[in-house]
């Protein structure tokens, strides 16, 4: 078991011993006092999603972070998401209730390696997936999320694009855009990479009528089995507009909670082996309360990196969410 997985299971036990209703009451009261907003990713623990003022995908969360008037943002997600909020809000307090909640994929590219790749492809633009550090965003021309990666790459004037860090997402984008050369980085999300075609086939045996929804961080083999390929919040839209009433959802299993809440008349199933991102599960109600009490741990991107990274993030927000 790695460190995040070990800490996650320790947290699971701790949380069971605490009165959750009391925690929720305290969080709501203190949030008001601190003039705070709670932004929560779709993969968070169900009880953490339920206290969010907004629950969504990376794009929706960045949009909310850009427009909020709150003085404090409690980011229930992982480090790069809190950094994006900091890039957009240099004067606000950005709290990440567990400072060790990172994204292993975001750490698969660093500024020096990216600069080296640029030297190898001097004509290419760099598109950074939002799952990158602020320092990598500062070295990039554009930023995108899974909700608008295809549209961002289409809008880039250059014909050659270095896409970091997710190789699966880069290949998915390349499959949609034939007139540009996409140079994929060698990164991957271990959670989505771990979902196999056999996991989907196995789930299909129990739910033969179900449509398959995958995240574009999945492998090409799994994406080829999909009826819908969407960002996490895009999955909700797909489930609402589809005629189907059952879905196999190939992404982190936390996603079953917002889907079941938003589309209560339909049924959602994880692939055969439930995919879990232990980092996403590090944030607990107790840690949210503690962060509001202490106004720690904070994430603040250093100003010289922030101003450089802002350009790429603003371009991502300008393009926004494409109509499905």
Sheet holding 54-56, edge to edge: 54-56, 36-41, 72-76, 93-95
How many whole angstroms separate alpha carbon 271 and alpha carbon 192?
A: 11
Q: Which is nearer to ligand 13P, 211 or 217 (CB)?
A: 217
Q: Of residues 252, 286, 299, 310, which one binds ligand SF4 by CB under 6 A?
A: 252
Residue 7 CB, nearest approach to ligand 13P (Å): 18
From the list 10-18, 57-65, 155-163, 258-266, the region that binds ligand 13P by CB under 6 A is 57-65
Residues near 264 by Cβ (< 8 Å), separated by ≥ 6?
none
Whole-number Å distance between alpha carbons of 226 and 212:
5
Residue 164 is encoded by which pair of tokens?
Answer: 């970091």
The rounded distance, in Å, linking the Cα atoms of 28 and 31 is 5
Among residues 83 and 124, whose Cβ is nearest to ligand 13P?
Answer: 83
* Contact string 209-238 vs ligand 13P (x = CB under 6 A): ------x-x-------------xx------
Segment 92 to 151, residues that bind ligand SF4, using CB under 6 A: 103-105, 131
Mask for 173-212, x = binds ligand SF4 (CB under 6 A): ----------------xxx---------------------
* Residue 104 interaction partner, one of ligand 13P, ligand SF4, none, beta carbon < 5-8 Å per kind: ligand SF4
**From the list ligand 13P, ligand SF4, none, partner contacted by residue 279 (C-beta under 5 to 8 A by kind):** ligand SF4
Of 17-56, which residues contact ligand 13P (CB under 6 A)?
42
DSSP per-residue codes, 181-242: EEEE-SB--HHHHT--HHHHHHHHHH-TT-EEEE-TTS-HHHHTT-SEE--HHHHHHHHHHS
Q: Which of the choices ligand SF4, ligand 13P, none does residue 42 contact, using the CB cut-off of 5 to 8 A by kind?
A: ligand 13P
**Counting contacts by CB under 6 A, is residue 279 touching ligand SF4?**
yes
Q: Does 193 bind ligand 13P (CB under 6 A)?
A: no
Residue 116 in contact with residue 200, Cβ under 8 Å?
no
Which residues have C-beta within 8 Å of that of residue 29, sequence separation ≥ 6?
A: none
Size, binding site for ligand SF4 by CB under 6 A: 12
What are 181's strand-pairing partners? 160
Per CB under 6 A, 280 contacts ligand SF4: yes
Burial class of residue 42, CB neighbours in 10 A (0-12, 13-18, 19+): buried
Which of ligand SF4, ligand 13P, none has residue 57 at its interface (CB below 5 to 8 Å by kind)?
Answer: ligand 13P
Q: Which two tokens stand for residue 89?
A: 């809000």
Interaction site with ligand SF4 (CB under 6 A): 78, 103-105, 131, 189-191, 252, 277, 279-280
């Amino acid at each position: 078991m790695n460190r995040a997985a070990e800490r996650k299971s320790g947290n699971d036990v701790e949380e069971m011993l605490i009165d959750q209703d009391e925690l929720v009451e305290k969080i709501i009261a203190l949030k008001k006092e601190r003039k705070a907003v709670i932004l929560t990713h779709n993969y968070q623990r169900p009880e953490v999603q339920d206290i969010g003022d907004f629950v969504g995908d990376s794009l929706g969360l960045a949009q909310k972070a850009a427009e909020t008037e709150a003085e404090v943002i409690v980011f229930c997600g992982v480090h790069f998401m809190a950094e994006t909020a900091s890039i957009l809000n240099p004067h606000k307090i950005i709290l990440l209730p567990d400072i060790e909640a990172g994204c292993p994929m975001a750490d698969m590219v660093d500024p020096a390696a990216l600069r080296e790749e640029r030297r190898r492809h001097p004509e290419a633009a760099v598109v950074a997936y939002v799952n990158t550090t602020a320092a990598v965003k500062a070295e990039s021309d554009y930023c995108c999320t899974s909700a608008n990666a295809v549209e961002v790459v289409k809008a880039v004037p250059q014909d050659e694009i270095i896409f970091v860090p997710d190789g699966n997402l880069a290949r998915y984008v390349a499959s949609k855009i034939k007139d540009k050369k996409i140079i994929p980085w060698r990164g991957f999300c271990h959670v989505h990479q771990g979902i196999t075609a056999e996991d989907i086939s196995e789930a299909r045996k129990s739910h033969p009528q179900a449509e398959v929804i995958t995240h574009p961080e999945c492998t090409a083999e799994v994406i080829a089995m999909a009826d819908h390929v969407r960002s996490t919040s895009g999955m909700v839209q797909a489930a609402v507009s589809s005629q189907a009433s059952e879905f196999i959802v190939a992404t982190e299993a936390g996603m079953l909670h917002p889907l079941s809440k938003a589309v209560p008349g339909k049924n959602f199933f994880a692939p055969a082996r439930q995919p879990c991102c232990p980092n996403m599960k590090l944030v607990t109600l107790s840690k949210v309360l503690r962060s509001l009490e202490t106004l720690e741990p904070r994430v603040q991107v250093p100003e010289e990196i922030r101003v450089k990274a802002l350009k790429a993030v603003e371009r991502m927000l300008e393009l926004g969410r494409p109509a499905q």
